[in-house]
């Protein structure tokens, strides 16, 4: 189900969970060593959808889905597992998700706006990851810092504008099966319009079948045709938008937690 396993628990000298070993590290590290290909991006998309479907059917939201929390089992073919459940939460009738937590680059709009939210924030985050690796729409974010409450108010507005910028740029791309899946099912400002992970899996399969090909076969050709001419323009546009929103000299913090 593409979720990292806990294989043991020790109580001394310090209580610790022992996880299975991933010698290749996380997806962010692997991308630095050897860039993730389009085919691999599609693999991680569907593997993560399988993991999220398992979690969301049990009302569990990960709430910090990002490349650094995707551990890599292998690259030929790519196999990843979702890890780091430090911010995960189970949604119940008496316990709702409303804390401002996660990694800002991948936070859903409703998190920025301080609204009560659901595990569907994970679908938004996965959509942003795929957008980043498949189309090169995001600059790599590094660094981390906490912010005080006064800054949080401004961050909510800037964050919401950043999310809208991502949606607008994704919607400007010519149609292909992958961008359709992202814009129709995952990267939706209104969380009610996002499809559950299971439906995203079904929709991806239907689109592949209807085209008489697979997403893996179709998208790399289109990407190779566009990325040189259009990709750099879109990346530049997004970077300029990001600098206007968050400051030209400010790196996007990797994690923001408000107690």
Catalytic residues: 64
Comparing CA positions, the residue from 75, 55, 73 lying closest to residue 65 is 55
Measured between alpha carbons, how far is 126 from 67 in angstroms, rounded to an integer? Answer: 9
C-alpha dihedral over 117, 119, 121, 127, to 10 degrees? -160
For every residue of the chain, which 3-state class applies, written as one string?
CCECCEEEEECCCCCEEEECCCCCCEHHHHHHHCCCCHHHHHHHHHHHHHHHHHHHCCCEECCCCCHHHEEEEEECCEEEEECCCCCCEECCCCCCECCCCCCHHHCCHHHHCCCCECCCHHHHHHHHHHHHHHHCCCCCCCCCCCCCHHHHHHHHHHHHHHHHHHHHHHHCCCCCHHHHHHHHHHCCCCHHHCCCHHHHHHHHHHHHHHCCCCHHHHHHHHHHHHHHHHHHHHHHHHHHHHHHHHCCCCCCCCCCCCC
The residues, ordered by sequence, that sit 6+ positions from 85 with a Cβ below 8 Å of its Cβ are 62
Q: Which residues pair with 61 in a beta bridge?
A: 89
């Amino acid at each position: 189900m593409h979720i990292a396993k806990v294989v043991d628990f020790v109580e001394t000298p310090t209580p610790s969970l022992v996880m299975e070993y991933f010698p290749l590290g996380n997806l962010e590290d692997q991308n630095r060593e050897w860039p993730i290909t389009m085919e691999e991006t599609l693999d991680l998309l569907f593997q993560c959808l399988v993991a999220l479907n398992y979690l969301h059917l049990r009302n569990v939201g990960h709430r910090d889905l990002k490349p650094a929390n995707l551990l890599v089992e292998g690259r030929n073919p790519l196999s990843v597992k979702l890890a780091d459940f430090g911010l995960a939460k189970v949604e119940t009738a008496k316990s709702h998700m409303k804390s401002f937590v996660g990694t800002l680059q991948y936070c859903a709009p409703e998190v920025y706006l301080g609204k009560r939210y659901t595990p569907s924030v994970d679908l938004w985050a996965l959509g942003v990851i795929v957008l980043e690796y498949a189309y090169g729409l995001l600059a790599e974010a590094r660094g981390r810092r906490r912010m005080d409450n006064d800054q949080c108010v401004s961050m909510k507005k800037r964050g919401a504008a950043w999310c809208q910028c991502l949606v607008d740029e994704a919607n400007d791309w010519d149609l292909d099966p992958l961008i359709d899946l992202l814009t129709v099912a995952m990267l939706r400002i209104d969380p009610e319009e996002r499809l559950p992970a299971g439906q995203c899996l079904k929709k991806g399969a239907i689109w592949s079948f209807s085209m008489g090909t697979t997403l893996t076969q179709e998208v790399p050709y289109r990407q190779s045709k566009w990325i040189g001419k259009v990709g750099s323009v879109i990346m530049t546009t997004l970077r300029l938008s990001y600098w206007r929103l968050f400051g030209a000299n400010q790196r996007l913090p990797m994690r923001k937690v408000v107690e």
